[in-house]
Amino acid sequence: MAGRNDSETSGTEGGSGLGSLFAFLIRDGNLMRSPVLAYAVLASVTRSGMIYAINTLAGAAAIATGDVLLLFAAIASTLTFSHLARVASFRLVETTKRRLRTELSRRLLEARADFLSRRDHGKVYSIVTHEVNQISYASVNFIQSLEAVLVIAFCIPYIFYLSWPSGVATLCAVVLGAIGYLLAQTPAQASAERASRTEWTFFDRVNDVLRGYKELRLRRARRDGLQADIIDAASRERELKVTAERFFSLGQTVAQGAMMGLLCLIVVGLPLLAGTPTETVLQVLTVVLLTYGPVETVMGNLASFSRAAVARRLIAGLEKDLIAEAEIDAPTDRAAAPPARFSRIELRGVTATLSEAPPEGATTAAPADDEHFTVGPIDLVLVPGEVVFISGGNGAGKSTLISLLTGLRRPEDGEILLDGQPVTTATLQDYRDLFSAVFSEFHLFSRLYGLDEAEQAKVPPHLAELDLAHRVRIENGAFSTLALSTGQKRRLALSVALAEARPIIVLDEFAADQDPVRRKLFYDVLVPQMARDGHLVIAVTHDEHCFDKCDRLIRMEAGRILADTRQPGSAHAIADAAVVSGN
């Protein structure tokens, strides 16, 4: 809960302005390892040489061959280095974008499962796409601005050399333009950040359209209500972006006005007020006109830097949350094979508390008592070869128990023991590697990620066994199609779980989407076969008429285990009875 609210406020904290952006671009944006800086410096030096050569030729009594050659050499060098800088800048943009996206993706993959389950997906989509693009393209603008600033830094002393009043006027114009930008920056950035946050809502609503297209077409009022929300989010985003652009434009207008005033002062004021010779006025005017473009570049890029600074704050906020919620044991390079067997899993006094997440932007006030739901304490022992059914009404805690058992949720109290040893942060991934699962809300990947060649070879026989071979094939490590019914997709997910051949198979409401024939296949053929192969099979089910198919039946209610009984006739029950009679 606290982590969520921290992320909402992290973007407005200090220390993440232009200074932080430039530090990121120089330190982490590959600028120091790219030749683009050298090209930019060389382009600015040769451009400055071109300006000097033009003025030298303009003020000379006779045209010297050396000055002409210097001018053409400076022009050719400027064009060459500018071209090289643009190409290197584009490469830098794509490199920065790739690095940011892969880094954020890695942190998302390492984050705790319960953190991802409550995260607003629209926010993540926006940051990984739009905000990353903003900060990536800022690196190009940074190079352009650096080149322009170097030209300006050369030209201002040169203007002082030609005419000190012109130098003072030029400095005043630059300072006035900077002041105009600084005054507009704060409200512009605030509006831009609010626009980005509003865009998260828009992405969430688009996600609703993509995932809820069936329900939306069954009720016009629902579709109209969602469309109204989409229009509202898009309209608010538009207004905020227009407001931000108005402030950005105001800052640029002040800078442009300062430069226009400088030109008027040079053309009209210098001859009248300072008595500057016409020849000097023309030289100063030439320098100012040739530096007008670089000044415009710097002033125009300031708005881009402000947007990128907002993007940097939002990215940093998400990274901060992901780091805080990262699983310390998340593997980065795992070469060892998953564990092939276990002897005993024990849950001792395990509890988990579920609470309703606050709405976007809510304060961290403690939730009301009715917003809490506690699962546990749970004491449970599981061994290989068993078929364990878990039943209970909606909200009984079955899915939470599955999350605890598979290690996707860490218990607040109690502990999980594997073969007598507590599952710790260091051993959590090894523990999870015991499981294959088809969850009630499962995701079916189009590719067979993580399966080696031997495991992939096992998938086609399971497709035939599950009556899917006529619909789906394996082509280059991927399924030929995912255009299947929900029941077929669930069986396809089971084919992957069976190919993984993990010691424990978890099936959450697997039979709910199956027709009677496939349901019978599941209970009468597949489940017994998995148990005979040595798997611990844990199935959440409501099919009371099939409860005799399991070894153990666990009944849950209100987050507690009400009963854990062995079914008469099961292999384990017969073995237990034999032990008792022998005694």
pLDDT digits (tens, 9 = 90+) for 116-172: 666 667 777 777 777 787 777 777 777 777 777 777 777 778 777 777 777 777 777
Which helix (H) or strand (E) element contains residue 126? helix 121-126
* Predicted pLDDT at 432: 86
Instruction: Write the DSSP symbol of residue 265.
Output: I
Which residues are within 8 A (CB) of 93 and not within 5 positions of it... i.e. 6 or more apart?
136, 137, 139, 140
Distance from C-alpha of 524 to C-alpha of 457, rounded to nearest angstrom: 25
Q: State the span(s) of the chain assigned CATH 1.20.1560.10.
A: 2-324
Contact 52, 158 (CB under 8 A): yes
In the CATH scheme, what is the homologous superfamily, with its name and number, of domain 2-324? ABC transporter type 1, transmembrane domain (1.20.1560.10)
Beta-bridge mates of residue 413: 351
Distance from C-alpha of 329 to C-alpha of 437, rounded to nearest angstrom: 21
| Res. 578 pLDDT band, cuts 50 70 90 | very low
Q: State the span(s) of the chain assigned CATH 3.40.50.300.
A: 345-582
Contact 124, 200 (CB under 8 A): no
Question: Nearest CA to 189 among 21, 363, 26, 361?
Answer: 21
- As a whole number, mean pLDDT of residues 227-235 equals 83
Instruction: Count other C-beta atoms under 10 Å from residue 572's C-beta.
Output: 16
Dig out the tokens for 531 from the structure: 């148990």
Q: How far apart are the first and last CA of the chain?
A: 54
Give the distance, in angstroms, between the CA of residue 9 and the centroid of all CA atoms in the same chain: 18
CA angle, 46 then 261 then 157, to 5° = 35
Residues 302-346 pLDDT 10s = 777 777 777 787 787 887 877 777 765 545 445 456 667 888 888
Name the pairing type of β-strands 372-382 and 345-355.
antiparallel
Tokens 């005017």 belong to 285
Distance from C-alpha of 202 to C-alpha of 215, rounded to nearest angstrom: 19
> Is the pLDDT assigned to residue 9 strictly greater than 80?
no
Residues 436-465 pLDDT 10s = 888 877 777 777 877 888 888 888 888 888
Q: Between the ranges 125-134, 245-254, 382-391, 406-415, where is the mean pLDDT highest?
A: 382-391
Residue 294: cis peptide before it, omega within 30 degrees of 0: no
Which residues are within 8 A (CB) of 11 and not within 5 positions of it... i.e. 6 or more apart?
193, 310, 313, 314, 316, 317
What fold is seen in the domain 345-582? Answer: Rossmann fold (3.40.50)
* Predicted pLDDT at 534: 85
